[in-house]
């Protein structure tokens, strides 16, 4: 279970709410203000707390690209753990 922490918690300058444009320029509406978004985010993590493979990716100084990289590493690590043979065949050899 991969949980990406809301930008409202740790990167509030990137959290958009109300009637705004998304990153693709589309009109969107997000009802939750930053405080409500953080509260819902915490509740969601608590709902999944018992999952044996809950992984949480937070916000860092590296921005969204760093968050995506961290999320990809979590997915690749899980693939390596659960399907080591397939993972080894899929990964390019490093010399």
19, part of any domain: yes
Q: Torsions phi, psi of 19, nearest 5?
A: -90, 110
46, part of any domain: yes
95, part of any domain: no
Tens digits of per-residue pLDDT, 6-35?
A: 999 999 999 999 999 988 999 999 999 999
61 lies in which domain range? 2-90
Nearest Cα neighbor of 20 from 8, 11, 29 is 29
26, part of any domain: yes
**What is the pLDDT, as a whole number, of residue 18?**
96
Tens digits of per-residue pLDDT, 38-71?
A: 999 999 999 999 999 899 999 998 999 999 999 9
60, part of any domain: yes
Domain count, the chain: 1
pLDDT bracket for residue 77 (50, 70, 90) = very high
Nearest Cα neighbor of 41 from 61, 59, 63 is 59
């Amino acid at each position: 279970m991969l949980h990406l922490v809301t930008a409202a918690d740790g990167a509030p300058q990137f959290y958009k709410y109300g009637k705004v444009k998304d990153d693709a320029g589309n009109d969107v509406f997000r009802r939750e203000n930053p405080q409500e978004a953080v509260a819902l985010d915490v509740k969601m993590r608590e709902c999944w707390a018992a999952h044996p493979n809950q992984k949480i990716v937070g916000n860092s100084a590296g921005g969204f690209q760093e968050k995506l990289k961290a999320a990809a590493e979590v997915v690749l690590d899980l693939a390596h753990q659960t399907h080591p043979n397939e993972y080894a065949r899929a990964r390019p050899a490093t010399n």
